[in-house]
Amino acid sequence: MQRDTILNWAVLTVVLVGAVVFLTWGKPFRVSGLFIMSGLAIGALYALGGIGIVVLYRATGVLNFASGAAGAAGVMTAWQFGQWGFPAPVGWAVAIVIAAAISVGYGRTLAPMLAWREPIVKAVATLGLALIVLGIVNFLWNDDPRSIDLPTDNLAVRIMGLRVTGTRILAFAASVGIVIAITLYLNRTVIGLQMRSLANDRDLSDLLGIPILRVETVAWVIAGVIAGFTGLMFGTLIRLEPTLITFMVIPSIAAAIAGRLDNLWIVLFAGLAMGLIESLLTLSQTFKGVRPLAPYVIAAAVLIWQQRTVRLTFGGN
């Protein structure tokens, strides 16, 4: 198994490096390097979204399509607080609280009613939530161009001669840090172990007396906090547009599926790869038209490679 894991990582890395070399061949480094840095930042956001989706799925069996909408509601609220003259940190905190409140509100009210339903029913229910939240956000805020700034936007470092903003570094560092933190949390804490138990067998966990509602609430909180933070980063790095942020969940789900809704490190790798390749495809006159397909092609390729020796299954809920 260890040998298989090493081979998987080696092949995925070689393929990714090969794709990067192919797409940047003949381009000046100052040009291709900027697209690489931008792609890694976008990929970190895809990975963050995927991490939140996986944590929630492992504990509840819910494939959450509403995380992007929760993030959009949070970042738009942060923008509004800024317009009202509140200090910026208050707005950032409110963004995360709003996203977490939407997540927990659904998790404590409607989600338990669907706990024993088929996974597709649970997923469609969260899609309905996403559309409701997006509708409310679009009702409250029109489509005027907006922007939201973070202090890290004005900070920058030079990496191989390229100027990289602090916000891009923050997004990348946060994706790696959150994977490490959640991995330790799942392996070293009581609730983390209970989450893993739920992922393996919900019925047995119930019989063993694990407080399912409390454990699931923690999972909804974590997912909401990650969604709020990701929405803030997306509104700063890409564009402050509710619809765009809401549907950011699609490539995030692709990253989560590449990790079989289980392996956070593969989710991180897949998210970064998706953002990187999607960005570099802009440099190609031949392939730039297929940029939106990049996340799904990468997810499919990872799954096809992983199942060459073993039949893949998803989740234990």
Q: CA-to-CA distance for 125 and 117, rounded, in angstroms?
A: 11
130-159 mean pLDDT: 87
pLDDT digits (tens, 9 = 90+) for 237-271: 888 999 989 998 989 998 998 888 888 998 999 99
Cβ atoms of residues 48 and 170 within 8 Å: no
Quick one: DSSP state of residue 233? H
What stretches of the chain show up as alpha helix (H) in DSSP? 2-24, 29-60, 67-83, 88-109, 119-140, 166-188, 190-200, 202-207, 212-237, 242-246, 249-258, 264-280, 294-306
Out of 49-53, 163-167, 195-199, which region has the weakest mean confidence (pLDDT)? 195-199
Q: CA-to-CA distance for 267 and 48, rounded, in angstroms?
A: 9
**Which residues neighbour 284 within 8 Å (Cβ) at sequence distance 6 or greater?**
23
Residue 316 has pLDDT above 50, yes or no: no
Cβ atoms of residues 250 and 53 within 8 Å: no
Distance from the first to the final alpha carbon of the chain: 24
pLDDT band of 177, cuts 50, 70, 90: very high
β-pair partners for 159: 162
Residue where the block lists tokens 């953002």: 275
β-pair partners for 157: 164
Report the pLDDT value the prediction gives residue 317, as an integer from 0 to 100.
Answer: 42
Report the pLDDT value the prediction gives residue 200, as an integer from 0 to 100.
Answer: 63
pLDDT digits (tens, 9 = 90+) for 87-98: 999 999 999 999
